[in-house]
Amino acid sequence: MKLRHILSSFIIFTFGITSLKAQDSIRLFPKIEQQYSIKRQLQNNLYYNPATMSDYSNFSFSDFNIGYENEKRNIYRQQDGSGQNGLSIKVNSYKKQNKNRSIWGNASYQNLKLTSVKWNENLDYDRIAPYSIADSAGGDTKLERYQFSGGISQKIDRWTLGLEASYLAQLGSRNRDPRQKSTTSDLNINLGANYRFYKDFEIGLFGNLNKYTQNTSIKFVSDLGQALMYQMTGFGFSNYFFNGGSPAAIYEEFGYKLGGQIFRNSKNPFYITGFVSEAKNQKSVTPSNRYFDISDLDKKHYQIEAAKFLNFNHHSFGIVANYQAFIKIGSEYGYTNHTEMIEQIYKRKTYKKEDYITTVKVLYQYNSDKFVVGATPHFQYQETIEQRMYPFSGQKFKNYTLGFDAFYKQEILNNQVISFSTNFYSKNILKTTNAISIDLRPNILDWLISDYNYLASDITNYGAKIRYDIKLSKLPAFYVEGAWQQYKMQKKSNNFAQLILGITF
């Protein structure tokens, strides 16, 4: 795994150096503004299609950085932990080989410590929930994460073809009882094709195949005071038949995504893009020498987004509207050992979660030769419905979020740029419904109530980021960046700080 990471980083860094030699110029500001364009960040969903990456940027660029982050939470979901801290190394590059071909890639490594994780012995909790392994003891978890990807797009007359592959692997472990070991692998392959049917209007189709696996095992060194391990099935209930012991579980997920888009590349562009994705995650456990399927999680995700951008002299305007629906349906398997062998006696749908999210973002930017300034106010409305049957338990949430982000980039000298951004948002709960069953162990019920209160809380967030870039003669541009965020809820504060050192060219 480490060898693949190092090799990928080396390849990307190598063609990044090539782009450096091709872009040596006097002024640094135009490169920084183009490379970290706010407008392109708002258009991120457009680039799900690898064929569209041919127009991602007008020139090549690369970025290599090392960062440290520290997050401390005074109020939190217990299954997420009370914070995290650690180092990260990231490299990404985009290269225009010629007017018809572009290649890109990125790689990263993170080494983090997740503190005070409880009621969750898995990685990627939101991906497998509610079918996690849980216990009341928990502890700190060491997490290593490796990621790399690469892609290519090629224009052929009116056609543009794109291919991209990515791989993410994680290792989570704990050196104290309960001794968790979780490994994940996540492979994605994306294909896309665009056709220019009239002037600069294009239509595109894209698809994705995904294979995800997680292996989790729990062991104990001490024979005394072992925590009871639960195979959770939602809202504090668990599969009694497979609870206890030193469990091992395998999660296997296969999924696909199909989407389309229509867009226009011009001075005043627009686009409409959307997709449908489906996946099935199956959990199997090994209480003996045999695997038993104990749950399925069928997942659907729908998204549609439309955007329009206008440019008048030095002024840029934009609006992006997005709608998403996430639907999870879970099924449980029932077994009996009243006979000589363990036999499956039923499979039934018992869990459903629905999330509906509508987001609108507006962009205003003033463009000058030596500075840019702008803001992106945004609004989001979300409705969540989660429930299980046999026995019934559930909860509902309705909330809206108002936010405002502002940014400013200024050229100091030809070889120096300073950037500053700030953000604010307020999440406001409109309505909550608590129908959680209380027929549970007291410690599990306390956890569920704590989780509900967290999800039902208003949140206020403040943050800021500052960055300084400098380009020295015959060297790539260096930068230092600092970021801070504070989240307030239930009269308590969570704080996040980050420091990054990097080079860009």
Percent of the residues in the chain that have a pLDDT greater than 70, as a whole number = 95
Place of tokens 């809202």: 235
CA distance 149 to 5: 10
Shortest CA distance to 65 belongs to which of 34, 3, 109, 33? 109
DSSP one-letter string for 238-274: E-GGG-SSS-EEEEEEEEEEEEEEEEE-SSS-EEEEE
pLDDT of residue 339: 66
pLDDT of residue 24: 46
The DSSP 8-state label assigned to residue 15 in this structure reads H
Domain count, the chain: 1
Place of tokens 């463009």: 367
Contact between 110 and 144 under an 8 Å Cβ cutoff? The reply is: yes
* Non-local CB neighbours of 290 within 8 Å, separated by 6+ positions: 342
pLDDT of residue 112: 98
* CATH at residue 311: 2.40.170
pLDDT of residue 338: 72
- Phi/psi at 456 (nearest 5 deg)? -95, 15
pLDDT tens digits, 323-337: 999 999 999 999 987
Amino acid residing at 26: I
pLDDT of residue 26: 74
DSSP one-letter string for 305-339: EEEEEEEETTEEEEEEEEEEEEEEEEEEEEEE-SS
Task: Say yes or no to pLDDT of 16 above 60.
Answer: no
Shortest CA distance to 178 belongs to which of 140, 119, 219? 219
In which domain, by residue range, is 438 found?
2-504
The DSSP 8-state label assigned to residue 33 in this structure reads H
pLDDT of residue 355: 98
Mean pLDDT of 115-137: 96
pLDDT tens digits, 369-418: 999 999 999 999 999 999 999 999 999 999 999 999 999 999 999 999 99
CA distance 390 to 398: 25
Q: Which segments within 337-443 are labelled E, that is strand? A: 343-367, 371-388, 393-413, 416-435
pLDDT of residue 267: 84
Shortest CA distance to 164 belongs to which of 274, 41, 56, 286? 56
Mean pLDDT of the chain: 93
